[in-house]
Amino acid sequence: MGMTAAELKERFGDTVFDSVEVEARGEDMVEFALACGETDPCFTDSSHPDFQAPANFATKYHGARMLPSDFPKFDPARMIDAGKAIEIHAPIRPDTKLTAKSHLHDIYEKTGRSGLMVFLVHRMEFTDESDELKAYVDWRLILRGGLQ
C-alpha cells in the first residue's frame, strides 16, 4: 500500500529539492513572445521602454528533477499532466539571472469516476539576483490510482 496524500505532504511538502540558474536573455524573450503570438511591443520590441518577458515566459524553464529523489516510485504510465498555472509578481527584464527553486507546493487526493487520484503541485519559484520574487510556475500532476 502506498502513502496517502497527507503522508506525502508531511514528508515532502515545501522542501526545495531542485535549483537551477538561468538567464532571461532579451532575444530569447522576443523569440518566445512571437512564438506565442504576442503582439504587444513591450514584449516583442527590445527597444520598447517597458520591455519585459511575456507572462508565460518562465514556463520555458525546467529543473533537473520533477520530484524529490526519494519520492516513492510509481508507474509513470498512470501520470497525467494536468497543466500549468503562472503567478507573476514582478516583470522579468532582459539579461536577468534567475534562480528557479522547485518544491512540492501541495499534495491532495480526490476520488473521481476512475477512482483515487493524487494531485501533486510542483512549484518553481523564480527570483532574481537580489532575491526579488519574479514568478511562480505551478505544474499539476495527477497520479491515477494514487501511489501503489
**pLDDT tens for residues 19-36?**
999 999 999 999 999 999
The answer to whether 87 and 133 are in contact (CB under 8 A) is: no
78 CB-near residues (< 8 Å, 6+ apart): 143, 144, 145
* Confidence (pTM): 0.89
Domains of the chain, residue spans: 5-24+74-144
pLDDT the model gives residue 103: 97
Model confidence band, residue 148 (pLDDT cutoffs 50, 70, 90): low
Residue 15 has pLDDT above 70, yes or no: yes
Task: Indicate the CATH number of 5-24+74-144 among 3.30.930.10, 1.10.150.20, 3.10.129.10, 3.90.550.10.
Answer: 3.10.129.10
Query: How many CB atoms lie under 10 A from the CB of residue 122?
Result: 22
The answer to whether 99 and 126 are in contact (CB under 8 A) is: yes
Model confidence band, residue 1 (pLDDT cutoffs 50, 70, 90): very low
For the record, the C-alpha cell of 75 comes out as 508507474
